[in-house]
Homo-oligomer: A and B are copies of this chain.
Amino acid sequence: MDSYNHILLAVDCYGQHASVADKARDLADKCQAKLSLIYVVDSLPIIDAGYAVDIPYNLDVTAELMAGAKHRLDALAERLAVDEQNRWLQTGSPKLEIIKVAEQNNVDLIVVGSHGRHGLALLLGSTANGVLHHASCDVLAVRLPND
C-alpha cells in the first residue's frame, strides 16, 4: 500500500555508476515493483533560423551516438533483467524526458544518481535537482561515490 509499484531508473549519459543501478534493482525487488530504465542522450535543439548558414550537423554522428547509447542501455537492462518494453532511449532534455516518461507510465519512484556538494552539477542545475523539483512522484537521489 505504502510501497512502490513502478520504479524508473534514470541512467546518465556518461556511464552510470553500478551502485545506483544495483540499488534500484534491489529496491524494486524489495517492493515487488516493476523496474524500467531510461537513458536520455542530452541534446540541444538545432534551429534553422533561415540565415542560409550551413549547420554543421552530422546525421551519421547522431546515429552513431544513439547506437552506442542503445548498446549501453541494453547491456545494463540485461544485467538488471529489465524487459525490452520497459527500456526508453530518448534524446532531449534529461529532466523533461525523464518526467514525461514517468508521468506517461504511472511511475511512482524515480531513481537518479546525484552529485553532492561542490560539484559542478550544483552550479549548473543537475538532472537530479531538476527531477526533484518537477516530478510529480517520489525521487530517490543516490549519491555517486566519487563526490
What residue of chain B has the Cβ atom nearest to residue A113's Cβ?
Answer: B138
Given A19-B2, A140-B139, does the pair A134, B114 have CB atoms closer than 8 Å? no
Out of B19, B26, B128, which one reaches A132, CB within 8 Å? B128
- List the interface of chain A (C-beta within 8 A of B): 2-3, 19, 22-23, 25-27, 30-31, 114, 116-117, 122, 128-129, 132-143, 147
What residue of chain B has the Cβ atom nearest to residue A22's Cβ?
Answer: B2
| Residues on B with beta carbons closer than 8 Å to the beta carbon of A31 | 30
Number of this chain's copies in the assembly equals 2
Q: Would A114 and B143 count as touching, CB distance under 8 A? A: no
Whole-angstrom distance between the alpha carbons of A141 and B109 in the complex?
Answer: 9
Given A3-B30, A31-B30, A129-B129, does the pair A136, B141 have CB atoms closer than 8 Å? no
Q: Would B140 and A138 count as touching, CB distance under 8 A? A: yes
What residue of chain B has the Cβ atom nearest to residue A143's Cβ?
Answer: B138
| Residues on B with beta carbons closer than 8 Å to the beta carbon of A23 | 2-3, 138
Distance between A139 CB and nearest chain B CB, rounded to angstroms: 5
Whole-angstrom distance between the alpha carbons of A139 and B26 in the complex?
Answer: 16
